[in-house]
Amino acid sequence: MEFGIIFITLFVLILFGVPIAYSIGLSTAVFLTVTHMKPLVILSQRSVLGMDSFVLLAIPLFTLSGYLMESGGLSKRLIDCVEKMFGWIPGSMGTITIICCTLFAALTGSGPATVAAIGALMIPTMMKAGYSRTTASGLLAAGGALGPIIPPSIPIIVYGCTMSVSVPKLFMAGILPGILMAVLFIITNTIIAVRGGIKPEKAVYTTKEVLRSIWKALGVLLLPVIILGGIYGGFFTPTEAATVCVIYSLILGVLYRELSLQRFKEAMMKTIQTSAMVVFIVGLSNCFGWTLAVAKIPVKIANAVIPYLNNRVSYLIILMLILFLVGCIMETLSSIVILGPILVPIGVRLGIDPVHLGAVFCVCLVVGFITPPFGLNLFTAASTADTTFSDVVKGVWPFLIAAFIAVVIIAFVPQVSLFLIRG
């Protein structure tokens, strides 16, 4: 009965188009009112407590660093460097786009920011190389999905806070899965290029030109080393690393003489809008998760389901199916804070490593960034490529299949996510 009240209310509100944050808050309020479990004041109290987290400060900081890199010319130098290094392979422009998305992801952790920063430069270049606008936009959307997987990652930060799992360990667990997905995207792009007769760039760059492009992009290339090395080396926390990332990006933008005061103001405004939305959702979702825990709904669901999930394989299959479905229709961060307290305890009770489970959980939901009908990267890519949403969906399907294959490998080969931690 309790389960039905809160979730039926939530789904009805979402069905009627109520924004997800308000749907979460209103469904919690209805549950508290009907059950008389706690006074409604608990809604505001738990929401404020949910937003009052030092770790969550990393979200606006990493978001700001991403917009500063886009405004300060860092993405342009990165693309030029990768183009000169990998321009000789079939479908080189697509491969370069994926590699740049991978590197940019390691700098910002934001899918939409990655799509916007890389797409503005690479979409015209890919089309000149023989890609259709449909394929180019789909590839860009898929490459942007690497942002929330490869650390620093906003979904991983939210998951770590929600499920009380070490964020640095989750960061470490996201590196190889992100690289695996990038490799599968490159293979997919190569197959498309060969079948479509897209040839590599004819330009041959000398060693001097390649080294010069590396030198120009050296400041950008060093940033992942500084950020990730600082976190894993114990020099600073993920939040402090985000601060370092912002300062470093600001300095580089000024030194490159491309970050004007107007561009800085625009980056700040975009950061405020994005971060306010994310943190507001996290705050209300914290109250939602707390209400579920107090009502012991996750425990009841676990006790009811575990008899039918008597092994890890069946649990992981059902988990992936649920998360793929949810990723199609719900925003990723909301899905984490709503489903995490319900589904994760079941896996832990079955003996699955919490860090591995966190990696699988986040990667499954991040695939939702490129899954119709609500994949955020699909909308961003459509805007960036100046095309329709349906064209982006047509172009992203081959890469979506590759993403599904990557998720299955990550789920059933725990070493992919745990190797760097245990090694």
- pLDDT score for 402: 93
Cβ contact 76:100 at 8 Å: no
Structural domain contains residue 351: yes
Residues 6+ apart with CB under 8 A from 413: none
Structural domain contains residue 367: yes
| Pairwise pLDDT comparison (139 vs 387), residue with the higher score | 139
Kindly indicate the confidence band of residue 188, based on its pLDDT and cuts at 50, 70 and 90.
very high
Q: Phi-psi bin for 15: left (phi > 0), alpha (psi -120 to 50), beta? A: alpha
pLDDT digits (tens, 9 = 90+) for 333-376: 777 877 888 888 888 888 899 999 999 998 887 787 787 766 66
Residue type, 393: V
pLDDT at position 164 over 80: yes
pLDDT digits (tens, 9 = 90+) for 302-316: 666 667 777 888 889
Sort 233 into a burial class: Cβ within 10 Å, 0-12 / 13-18 / 19+: exposed
pLDDT at position 19 over 80: no
Structure-token pair, residue 230: 């600082």
* Total of domains in the chain: 1
Kindly indicate the confidence band of residue 1, based on its pLDDT and cuts at 50, 70 and 90.
low
Full domain range(s) for residue 326? 38-422
pLDDT at position 190 over 80: yes
Angle, alpha carbons 139-150-123 (nearest 5°) = 25
Closest CA to 7 of 347, 344, 342, 394: 342
Segment 155-164 mean pLDDT? 84
**pTM for the full predicted model:** 0.71
Cα–Cα distance measured from residue 304 to residue 326, given in angstroms and rounded to the nearest whole number: 21
Residues 6+ apart with CB under 8 A from 232: 168, 171, 172
pLDDT digits (tens, 9 = 90+) for 71-115: 777 777 877 787 777 766 767 778 888 887 787 766 666 666 677
| Pairwise pLDDT comparison (50 vs 201), residue with the higher score | 50
Residue carrying structure tokens 């004041």: 41
Structure-token pair, residue 198: 């897209």
Cβ contact 141:380 at 8 Å: yes
Segment 213-226 mean pLDDT? 81
Structural domain contains residue 289: yes
Structural domain contains residue 16: no
- pLDDT score for 77: 81
Structural domain contains residue 200: yes
Structural domain contains residue 81: yes
Structural domain contains residue 24: no
Cβ contact 40:26 at 8 Å: no
Structural domain contains residue 20: no
